[in-house]
Amino acid sequence: MTTDTTDNRIISSTFKPAGWLRNRHAQTIYPSLPWAWPDRLALRRESLELVDGDVTAVDWVHASDDLPQTTPLLIILHGLESSAESSYARMLMQAATASQWRCCVLHFRDCGDCRNRLPRRYHAGETNDLRCLLDTLQRNGNTGPLLAAGYSLGGNVLLKYLGESAAQSPLRAAAAVCVPLDLNECAEALNHGFSKVYQHYLLKNMKRAVARKFDRHTAAFDWQRTMRARTFAEFDDAVTAPLHGFVDKDDYYDRCSSVRYLHSIAKPTLIINALDDPFMTPDVIPHQDRVSEHVSIEVADSGGHVGFIEGGTPCRPRFYLPRRLMEFFEPYAAQPGL
């Protein structure tokens, strides 16, 4: 793909990978190693009662509890089978806290160590939980600028929400990183080469999570077909689609791919994707005609999937994403609250 830089909706990233970590798979895997980002802020958990009677969790940075509700608040949405414990969430929480912002992570249903009530989980197009959190924050007196960042699947959820809500969203600005903009294209990309290793690992975790919540007698889907699934497409067709009201995986992918919603976004939004992301192909980057004037898609030649390590040393790597996201958010955080 050749990046068109004649319109500011599609821009070239300044990111350059660390000389000691140029491979896209190394960029993808390295942040998950325990020494890559060992810092952990103390978190405080709150339950979020959802409109359909279900429940999920919101983890708040404890150090910013005493800040006034007029302070900027950054909401983080995590990726597939992830949580507030992921390194990318922890490093952005730390950056926001250093700027004297409040910060929280919205957990998707049944993720991390949070168990939900209803016989369902989460999916890439579930925007009502974010909508519920934002409504709750406003109802509880949060009047400072509201900002949101989503990673991978969480980025897809965030962009879909922004397109659905348009100018009605209370968010001042949003950023989405390594987004599977076209779910069908991304599911196919994971069937090739070393990317199949990620697919195998994530499917194993997804099956384990399903088996923790259901069994062959209580599942409202084909249990044997789910446990035999060898690809994301097979798993989504067997369990994700029927469990969440979609006809099949094609209906799920078509209705929930965030690329369909980019033209309707009315709030300042930054998307950062890498052309070498092993979870997708360069074809997921849309033509600028499909993108709202409020959206900028920053395209990097490298970076892997939520890696973007730009320097430092193997023991103390330096990450591009926290700095870039904070730079993007700062002008909107400086504006008066609602």
Between strands 73-77 and 102-106, the pairing is parallel
Cα distances (Å, whole numbers) of residue 164 to 9, 127, 167, 256, 264: 19, 9, 9, 11, 7
**DSSP string for 181-208:** SSHHHHHHHTTSTTHHHHHHHHHHHHHH
| 182 in catalytic set | no
How far is 305 from 225, CA to CA, in rounded Å? Answer: 29
CA count, 13 A, side-chain hemisphere, 77: 34
Q: Which of 277, 292, 296, 302 is catalytic?
A: 277
Catalytic residue flag (residue 86): no
82, 86, 152, 195: the catalytic one is 152
271: nearest Cα among 243, 295, 250, 255? 295
Task: Give the number of C-alpha atoms closer than 13 A to the C-alpha of residue 257, restricted to the C-beta side.
Answer: 19
Q: 255: helix, coil or strand? A: helix
Which listed residue (78, 123, 294, 305) is catalytic?
305
Query: Who's near 125: CB < 8 A, 6+ residues apart?
Result: 156, 157, 160, 252, 255, 256
Q: Could you confirm whether 244 is annotated as catalytic?
A: no
Distance CA 225, CA 168 (A): 41
Active site members: 152, 277, 305
